[in-house]
Amino acid sequence: MTVSLGEIAARYGCELHGDPDTGVTHVATLSAAGPGSITFLANKSYRPQLGDTQAAAVILSAEDVADCPVAALVSPNPYAVYARVATELHPLYDAGPGIDVRASIGAGCTIPDSCQIAAGAVLEDGVVLGERVGIGPNSVVGRDTSIGDDTRLMANVTIYHGVRIGQRCLVHSGVVIGADGFGIAREEQGWTKVPQVGGVDIADDVEIGANTTIDRGAIDDTVICAGVKLDNQIQIAHNVRVGAHTAMAALVGVSGSTTIGANCLIGGASIVAGHISICDHVMLAAGTGVANSITKPGAYGGWPANVDEIGRWRKNVIRYGQLDEMARRVRKLEKQLRDMSDDP
Amino acid sequence: MTVSLGEIAARYGCELHGDPDTGVTHVATLSAAGPGSITFLANKSYRPQLGDTQAAAVILSAEDVADCPVAALVSPNPYAVYARVATELHPLYDAGPGIDVRASIGAGCTIPDSCQIAAGAVLEDGVVLGERVGIGPNSVVGRDTSIGDDTRLMANVTIYHGVRIGQRCLVHSGVVIGADGFGIAREEQGWTKVPQVGGVDIADDVEIGANTTIDRGAIDDTVICAGVKLDNQIQIAHNVRVGAHTAMAALVGVSGSTTIGANCLIGGASIVAGHISICDHVMLAAGTGVANSITKPGAYGGWPANVDEIGRWRKNVIRYGQLDEMARRVRKLEKQLRDMSDDP
Amino acid sequence: MTVSLGEIAARYGCELHGDPDTGVTHVATLSAAGPGSITFLANKSYRPQLGDTQAAAVILSAEDVADCPVAALVSPNPYAVYARVATELHPLYDAGPGIDVRASIGAGCTIPDSCQIAAGAVLEDGVVLGERVGIGPNSVVGRDTSIGDDTRLMANVTIYHGVRIGQRCLVHSGVVIGADGFGIAREEQGWTKVPQVGGVDIADDVEIGANTTIDRGAIDDTVICAGVKLDNQIQIAHNVRVGAHTAMAALVGVSGSTTIGANCLIGGASIVAGHISICDHVMLAAGTGVANSITKPGAYGGWPANVDEIGRWRKNVIRYGQLDEMARRVRKLEKQLRDMSDDP
């Protein structure tokens, strides 16, 4: 597929510096770009590569345009424009509709003709799919689960029974949605399992990374709101609620019955305790451990257990690296004072 | 299914405040409960919801009964009674016995008629199943593995060869049991793999959460004792031994050849070093990093690497949040002392 | 299989103390070893078990030979010799070549007769396999992916489209290679997905542990160099490059576009920030959090975010455990000074 710079400029509201008839066919990095490719500059650290780029065009912001040696598409949000151009040039592969003869379909399923069900996929009884849903090879969808239009499960995904997934979601391989939450009650002879009778409710436009797990609710549902983006190997416990458009990097863990607000950014490998809430518009640095509710929007970091406003936390981090030195200084002070009082 | 409050009281030794003939059909949360539902109060933080509950009955402890506006079932362990009532009202779905035509069964397997083998399941040669075992869709059981009565593997579980799993276990999707431990020997030209020839021995009544991994032993077996409960995305390395009735929250990692005692509670995202041992009845706070053996029962927390009695650890956590301030105070003290000695 | 001590000594350059005709048939631990078994001593902590071993022979280093009660094979690298002997005595199970009738093979695949494709495996169109490749039960290989000679995927592995895997690799169950990296661009109405059009390039002799995820590149490829060994549940983000013969323990997370050098040892549960680089021959202690590039070979530890030379870090760890006490000492110093200046 070829798209002209003129079309791109018009479609995404960019100011074009260059020939509108120049066509691009694929994306590339600044440094590896060659003829016919389009690239972007959105992260300052790659700016030194701009002057030597061989791309046909670069999407960038106004401040960088003067140094661009090739055609430029100027936007206040170059990365978003790049995302949209890349989506046009590299559409998701579509195997076309149909049910593979090696798929296994339960009784009473609703499967529109526009769906694609791959080899080895297993749909248990009563599964309801919307239009153009894709179920990848060897993925399993449990009883009475419903999946909205244009949602796609990649290979080896597992969805338990009674889960609801919205439209235009993308679920990567190894994801498990709807497994039992960790509910156990202590009795004298050991643990008694607490049945997990809630479901999982995932809204529209959610993407879920490889091997992430989202447990079903203990009684009510676990809820993932619209536009949430989850990276790989995240753990969402039972009855968690994640607000709209919140994004979490890989390896995050959220404990049971915790509410995370909308438009939050949760750094990788952060952990959040159970039964607390984090308000909207909170940013957590990577590796943060949140033990108590956060009620004020802002950026936070900190570990273990005491989360701080991020500036204060960064100072403490530096001090941590000086702890041994500080301890020696305290000891020296003590000695000086002792000497002074011994020798009045 | 309907169960009467009188039956529940008799079966679980509760004191009933209310009509023994009232029937309940399902569980609910305190706040969302409606007619015909039964709920419970076990966590103080939900107590404010008690006065407004619309449940038919609440399972609670003696101290809360006076404020219960509906029928009450009084027990010293309301959560455990709830667990048992919920199990009665919401039994696990049972697809009934049978081997799906799309399952693949190796040579020399023992599969009682009471077992349920779902579509896409693969049993390699010599697998031995007990009575009423369930193997979920697309799960794989390796050569010569044995699985005890009433154990159930959900969808997309992987059990390697030569693993032993006991009775009444529940293994969630994405779990991998018996993969090679991480054994590599350094030689000049790179790493040489150390064959992992041990197995995994999992006793009765063990539950294993989604995407948890338990490696096979290097020479002897990795051992999970009876009644152990593992949450999601836990990593158990080769030759670890986890004692009876120990429970681990999600994201815990236990390194090779470490022994964890019985009746321990391991907080989420904790990591435990290799070749150490933790005694019985140890509680670790979430996110603890244990580098050395723990020989005294009790509660511990701490990171990185230095684990402390939990009260002492909590104090240090607070001090960590004040580190920058403390450093400034030390500098001020130094200046004061300098001034004093400069100006005698 | 029986191998004689004489053969072992000759093959791996060991000095033999004992009868060269003694045969061994299997490996064992020092403490559990019985007749016909061979064991090793490489970790000092197991030395007390040497005197009582019942093994037929022990592989050990020169300094331990005097205390060995049975035949001894002396080597400067006993663990590596053990690895090679164990590989001989316990070869990987080989199901023999062939394509199971329940495998699903796409159009235009190249599958030499020497390959073994198990039940439920799905190869999409255009997959190219080398000689003797093994694809385990229910594993899925995406379009146009190529896999080199003697590489083996265990059960339930997922490889996306357009991935290249080298020769003699071993990929454990639950691994996902080539899922989309976490690329999202913020726009007013929410997140826009950034297509991930790069691939994954995995060189020869790489082992990948259970449930590890390696994302495809955003534009260029994610690269895993020859001889890399990855343990379980590791997360490798898009465009990461891991240098040759680097080994990572379980639960490590590496963020996007980061380069890790060759011959590094990354301790378990460490996390590495994005867009940085770690040079060759770096060792990270377990649980390290690396926020900035490391440019000097050596051992490092530290958390959060400030990584230190390991000796300095260990001192700070100890001081952390004394923080509350140090805070009290500072307060006391302040009081003493106040008293002194109040009372001149």
Test B229 with A197 for CB contact under 8 angstroms.
Answer: no
pLDDT tens per residue, range C270-289: 999 999 999 999 999 888 88
**C-alpha separations of B330 from B318, B324, C317, C334 in Å:** 18, 10, 19, 9
Query: Distance from A80 to chain C by nearest Cα, in Å?
Result: 5
Residue of B nearest to A309 (CA): B321
pLDDT at A308: 60
Tokens representing C140 are 């899925």
Which residue among A229, A247, A320 places its CB closest to the CB of C306?
Answer: A320
For chain B, percent of residues with pLDDT exceeding 70: 96
Q: Which helix (H) or strand (E) holds B332?
A: helix B323-342
Q: b/e map of A303-342 (b: 16 or more CB within 10 Å)? A: bbbbbbebebbbbbbebbbbbbbbbebbeebbebbeebee
Count residue pairs from A and C with Cβ separation < 8 A.
Answer: 208
Q: Does residue B112 have a cis peptide bond before it, meaning omega lies within 30 degrees of 0?
A: no
User: Chain-wide mean pLDDT for chain A?
Assistant: 93
Confidence of residue C305 (pLDDT cuts 50, 70, 90): very low
pLDDT tens per residue, range A148-202: 999 999 999 999 999 999 999 999 999 999 999 999 999 998 999 999 999 999 9
CA distance A271 to C235: 16
Which residue among C190, C194, C213 places its CB closest to the CB of A232?
Answer: C213
Please compute the mean of the pLDDT values over residues C145-165 and round it to a whole number.
Answer: 98
CA distance B245 to A186: 10
Q: Would an 8 Å CB–CB cutoff place C305 in contact with chain A? A: yes
Q: Taking a contact as any Cβ pair under 8 Å apart, which residues of chain A between 211 and 240 contact chain B?
A: 211, 213, 215, 219-220, 233, 235, 237
Q: Would an 8 Å CB–CB cutoff place B137 in contact with chain A? A: yes
pLDDT means per 10 residues, chain B with 344 residues, are 96 97 96 95 92 97 96 97 96 91 98 98 98 98 98 98 98 98 95 97 98 97 98 98 98 98 97 96 90 89 62 73 80 82 63
Tokens representing C68 are 């060995």
Nearest to C150 by CA among C114, C98, C203, C110: C114
CA distance A251 to C26: 40
Please compute the mean of the pLDDT values over residues A314-318 and round it to a whole number.
Answer: 73
Contacting residues of A for C119, CB less than 8 Å apart:
none
pLDDT at B308: 61
Instruction: Please tell me whether residue A61 adopts helix, strand or coil conformation.
Output: coil
Domains B3-89 and B98-316 share a fold: no
Contacting residues of A for C291, CB less than 8 Å apart:
286
Q: From the CB of residue A113, how many other CB atoms can be counted at a distance below 10 Å?
A: 9
Whether the pLDDT of residue A244 is over 50: the answer is: yes
Q: Taking a contact as any Cβ pair under 8 Å apart, which residues of chain C between 173 and 192 contact chain B?
A: 173-174
Confidence of residue A304 (pLDDT cuts 50, 70, 90): low
Q: How is residue A250 annotated by DSSP?
A: T
Whether the pLDDT of residue A334 is over 70: the answer is: yes
Whether the pLDDT of residue C39 is over 60: the answer is: yes
Q: Would an 8 Å CB–CB cutoff place C204 in contact with chain B? A: no
Which residue among A86, A155, A341 places its CB closest to the CB of C194?
Answer: A86
Contacting residues of B for C225, CB less than 8 Å apart:
none
Test A176 with B120 for CB contact under 8 angstroms.
Answer: no
Which residue among C226, C229, C250 places its CB closest to the CB of B184?
Answer: C229
Test A185 with B229 for CB contact under 8 angstroms.
Answer: no
**What angle, rounded to 10 degrees, do the helices at A323-342 and C310-320 form?**
60
pLDDT tens per residue, range A31-65: 999 999 999 999 888 999 999 999 999 999 999 99
C172 is catalytic: no
Q: Of the listed A17, A161, A172, A238, which one is catalytic? A: A238
Count residue pairs from A and B with Cβ separation < 8 A.
Answer: 211
Which residue among A158, A193, A271 places its CB closest to the CB of B286?
Answer: A271
Contacting residues of A for C271, CB less than 8 Å apart:
251, 268-269, 286-287
Torsional sign, CA B62, B68, B73, B79: negative
Query: Distance from A101 to chain C by nearest Cα, in Å?
Result: 10
Complex ipTM, two decimals? 0.93
Query: Distance from C76 to chain B by nearest Cα, in Å?
Result: 11
Per 3-state DSSP, chain C is made up of helix, strand and coil in percentages (nearest 5) of: 20, 30, 55
pLDDT at C152: 98
Test A320 with B317 for CB contact under 8 angstroms.
Answer: no
Please compute the mean of the pLDDT values over residues A16-44 and round it to a whole number.
Answer: 96
Comparison of pLDDT for B187 and C322, the residue scoring more: B187
CA distance B319 to B329: 13
Test C329 with A330 for CB contact under 8 angstroms.
Answer: yes
Q: Residues in chain A, how many?
A: 344
CA distance A257 to A240: 5
CA distance B146 to B127: 6
Contacting residues of B for A211, CB less than 8 Å apart:
174, 211, 233
Superfamily grouping for domain A98-316: Hexapeptide repeat proteins (2.160.10.10)
Do residues C103 and C121 lie in contact, with contact meaning Cβ atoms separated by under 8 Å? yes
Domain definitions of chain A by residue range: 3-89, 98-316
Query: Distance from C129 to chain A by nearest Cα, in Å?
Result: 19
Q: Of the listed C172, C238, C275, C281, which one is catalytic? A: C238
Test A77 with C187 for CB contact under 8 angstroms.
Answer: yes
Instruction: Please tell me whether residue B64 adopts helix, strand or coil conformation.
Output: helix
Confidence of residue A343 (pLDDT cuts 50, 70, 90): low
Query: Distance from B227 to chain C by nearest Cα, in Å?
Result: 24
Which residue among B182, B308, B315 places its CB closest to the CB of C231?
Answer: B182
pLDDT at B305: 47
Q: Does residue C304 have a cis peptide bond before it, meaning omega lies within 30 degrees of 0?
A: yes
User: Chain-wide mean pLDDT for chain C?
Assistant: 93
Whether the pLDDT of residue C311 is over 80: the answer is: no
Tokens representing A97 are 């509709």
How would you classify residue A227: left for phi > 0, otherwise alpha for psi between -120 and 50, otherwise beta?
left
Interface test with B, best of A161, A171, A192, A339 (most B CBs within 10 A): A192
Tell which CATH classification among 2.60.120.10, 3.40.1390.10, 3.40.50.720, 3.30.390.50 matches the domain A3-89. 3.40.1390.10
Q: What are phi and psi of B50, to 5 degrees?
A: -65, -45
Chains that touch C (3 or more CB pairs under 8 A): A, B
Query: Distance from A168 to chain B by nearest Cα, in Å?
Result: 24
Residue of B nearest to C43 (CA): B275
Q: Residues in chain C, how many?
A: 344
Q: How is residue B261 annotated by DSSP?
A: -
Test A154 with C219 for CB contact under 8 angstroms.
Answer: no
Q: Would an 8 Å CB–CB cutoff place B303 in contact with chain C? A: yes
Contacting residues of C for A138, CB less than 8 Å apart:
120, 122, 138, 140, 156
Query: Distance from B99 to chain C by nearest Cα, in Å?
Result: 15
Tokens representing B126 are 């010599």
- Residue indicated by tokens 């005097």: C66
Contacting residues of B for A215, CB less than 8 Å apart:
210, 232
Residue of B nearest to A233 (CA): B233
- Lowest average pLDDT, out of A141-145, B329-333, C17-21, C209-213, goes to B329-333
How would you classify residue A283: left for phi > 0, otherwise alpha for psi between -120 and 50, otherwise beta?
beta
Query: Distance from A269 to chain B by nearest Cα, in Å?
Result: 9
Distance of CA C183 to the CA centre of its chain: 26
pLDDT at C323: 76
Tokens representing B194 are 């150390």
Residue of A nearest to B270 (CA): A271
Whether the pLDDT of residue C332 is over 90: the answer is: no
Q: Taking a contact as any Cβ pair under 8 Å apart, which residues of chain A between 22 and 41 contact chain B?
A: none
Residue of B nearest to C102 (CA): B104
Whether the pLDDT of residue C38 is over 60: the answer is: yes
Residue of B nearest to C251 (CA): B253
Q: Would an 8 Å CB–CB cutoff place B265 in contact with chain A? A: no
What is the torsion angle, in degrees rounded to the nearest 10, for the CA atoms of residue A130, residue A136, residue A137 and residue A139?
-70
Test A122 with B285 for CB contact under 8 angstroms.
Answer: no
Contacting residues of B for C320, CB less than 8 Å apart:
304, 306, 316, 320
> Which amino acid makes up residue B282?
V
Contacting residues of B for C92, CB less than 8 Å apart:
195
Confidence of residue A341 (pLDDT cuts 50, 70, 90): confident
Test A306 with B286 for CB contact under 8 angstroms.
Answer: no
